[in-house]
Amino acid sequence: MPALYHLSRESLLPNNFQVIGIGRRIHEGQEFIQQMQHRVRQYCSHNMEQRYWKPLARKMMSIKNDFKNIDTYTSILNIIGELEKEWKNSANILFYLATSPSHFLSIIKQLADHNLNVQNKSKWTRIIVEKPFGLDSISAKALHEQISKYFNTSQIFNIDHFLGKEAVQNILTFRMSNIMFQPLWNKNYIEQIQIISAETIGVEGRVGFFEQTGAVRDMIQSHLIQILALLTMEHPASLEAEDIRKEKLKLLRSIRKYSIHEAGEYSIRGQYKEGVVNSELECKYTDEIGINEKSRVETYAAIKLFIDNERWEGVPIYLRTGKRMSRRTSEIFIQLKRTEGSTIPTNMKKQTPIANTIRLVIQPRASVELTIGWKPIGLITDVEPTNLQFGIKPDIKEPKAYERLLVDSMNGDSTLFINYEEIIEMWKIVDPIVQNWYLDNKKIENGKLVENLYYYPAGTWGPREANILIEKDSNKWSRL
């Protein structure tokens, strides 16, 4: 709803527009509008103004009913029919499934049974599906097959809100439109790549969801691997959706797929214990409301990947994510190789060369930071690391990810959405890791369960064992 408010504020919604909220426990009438107003006040990036809110509020209504009840879909049909009479035009329809994945198939089938999936030359019908897209490659394939029975590919928009973030959209611009970086974007110049997404929050009311997914399925399988694809794919023939998708898919297929038994060597998982986050004492994961005290679901995951193609052969890529971390951030860290031999001035050869780095911050606020070597003023000849920072000006409001993605879905632009083939390739990367952990959950030695789930205090950067994953390559986690 905050995204819709911002779009309305910027006059980016059509004049004939209606929001219909549907749910079993949803409020009705004025209570529904007040609830949505509260959400806008709570989450919008601007101060909410009545002159922008009131026109949107007049275009909002709700249907309180169960997704399984046929009357729900009859009500939708009746409302659309009345709107089309009022507008004297066919209504374009966008369904947004902000529900548990367990409801997807029954909702989609009911929509089709009531001809709510039909589109023609005078109107379009589209459906937005939230992640997770299944829980593994098998369930993702089954979900796609079922959805495809009722909606064609052009109607399905698989949404990953990370792809709507300003900094993520800027990845291609940064690496492809700046001549100073283009020649460096390969194994000859880049030593390592790290992509991280850290949160200070816990499960925040998403217990059922998170117990099913864990950190690697929730964050790495979707957000981080998509960022990796944009960061490392070949230049597309154009910036059209199909050309970008083609290169992303080619890259995803080049990522090395581990066997179940070797996956443990390239991954670490952890779970937070009691600790202090933002000056507040937080309980351990298994003391959160609704969590089984014996749960071994990971709240932290770190994996090492390789891309087996000519451009990136041998470059280690580290992805990590965690909950109840020291601070909230999502960023990309790229370390370039150090200068060698004749390129170093004679009087500086005893000093370890400075490693140039590139840091692309995605959130909380988009920015770029470059680290270069620089001799300080004076007679000292040592080289010091110096940071150059660029970012969005403080007085500029950064567009929210959902604003861009909602507009794109209404315009039929699928560039920032994920297609089925990408989803399957991402699961092929993650499946062996999850299966390895599942096998280890059952491994007993000397009458005891083998512990491959490591613990870290809330408010830190993860388990100490994660350092081993990167330090055996003589690398270190980037400072955050």
Between 208 and 432, where is the model more confident?
432
pLDDT of residue 311: 97
pLDDT surpassing 90 at residue 462: yes
Q: What pLDDT, in 10s, does the model give residues 466-477? A: 999 999 999 999
pLDDT of residue 59: 93
pLDDT surpassing 70 at residue 291: yes
Nearest to 403 by CA among 36, 87, 100, 43: 43
Token code pair at residue 343: 């390129």
Between 205 and 260, where is the model more confident?
260
3-state secondary structure of 236: coil
CB-based contacts of 95, cutoff 8 Å, min separation 6 = 111, 116, 125, 126, 127, 128
Residue at token pair 């709803």 = 1
pLDDT surpassing 80 at residue 390: yes
Cβ–Cβ under 8 Å, residues 254 and 309: yes
pLDDT of residue 27: 86
Residue at token pair 């390559």 = 473
Helices 225-232/166-176 angle, 10° precision = 20
What number does CATH give the domain 2-160?
3.40.50.720
Mean pLDDT of the 261-266 span: 93
Mean pLDDT of the 45-52 span: 82
Between 102 and 304, where is the model more confident?
304
Identify the sign of the CA torsion 417, 421, 424, 430.
Answer: negative
To the nearest whole number, what is the mean pLDDT of the chain? 89
- List the single range of 41-45, 48-52, 183-187, 356-360 with lowest mean pLDDT: 41-45
The DSSP code sequence of 370-403 is: EEEEEPPSSS----EEEEEEEE--TTSPPPPHHH
pLDDT surpassing 60 at residue 342: no
pLDDT of residue 255: 98
Mean pLDDT of the 4-8 span: 89
Token code pair at residue 358: 């590139």
Residue type, 50: Q
Q: What is the spatial distance between Cα 228 and Cα 331, in angstroms, rounded to a whole number?
A: 11
Residue type, 314: G
* pLDDT level of residue 442 (50, 70, 90 thresholds): low
pLDDT surpassing 80 at residue 393: no
pLDDT of residue 24: 84
- Global pTM reads 0.89
Mean pLDDT of the 54-71 span: 89
Mean pLDDT of the 404-408 span: 90
- List the single range of 75-89, 286-300, 430-444 with lowest mean pLDDT: 430-444
pLDDT of residue 425: 97
Residues of the chain with CATH 3.40.50.720: 2-160
pLDDT of residue 346: 54
Nearest to 56 by CA among 96, 95, 2, 97: 2
pLDDT surpassing 60 at residue 318: yes
Tally of CB atoms within 10 A around 392: 13
Between 451 and 479, where is the model more confident?
479
Residues of the chain with CATH 3.30.360.10: 163-471
* pLDDT level of residue 85 (50, 70, 90 thresholds): very high
Residue at token pair 């020291």 = 326
pLDDT of residue 441: 59
Q: What is the spatial distance between Cα 77 and Cα 79, in angstroms, rounded to a whole number?
A: 6
Between 25 and 406, where is the model more confident?
406
The DSSP code sequence of 140-188 is: HHHHHHHHHHHS-GGGEEEE-GGGGSHHHHHHHHHHHS-TTTGGGSSTT
pLDDT of residue 396: 65
pLDDT of residue 349: 53
pLDDT surpassing 70 at residue 446: no
Cβ–Cβ under 8 Å, residues 115 and 150: no
pLDDT surpassing 90 at residue 198: yes
Q: What is the spatial distance between Cα 59 and Cα 7, in angstroms, rounded to a whole number?
A: 14
pLDDT of residue 447: 59
pLDDT of residue 82: 94
Q: What pLDDT, in 10s, does the model give residues 96-154? A: 988 877 788 889 999 999 999 999 988 999 999 988 788 899 999 988 998 999 999 99
Cβ–Cβ under 8 Å, residues 230 and 168: yes
- List the single range of 96-110, 334-348, 421-435 with lowest mean pLDDT: 334-348
* pLDDT level of residue 375 (50, 70, 90 thresholds): confident
Which residues are marked as active site? Answer: 223
CATH architecture classification, 163-471? 2-Layer Sandwich (3.30)
Identify the sign of the CA torsion 474, 478, 479, 480.
Answer: negative
Between 73 and 343, where is the model more confident?
73
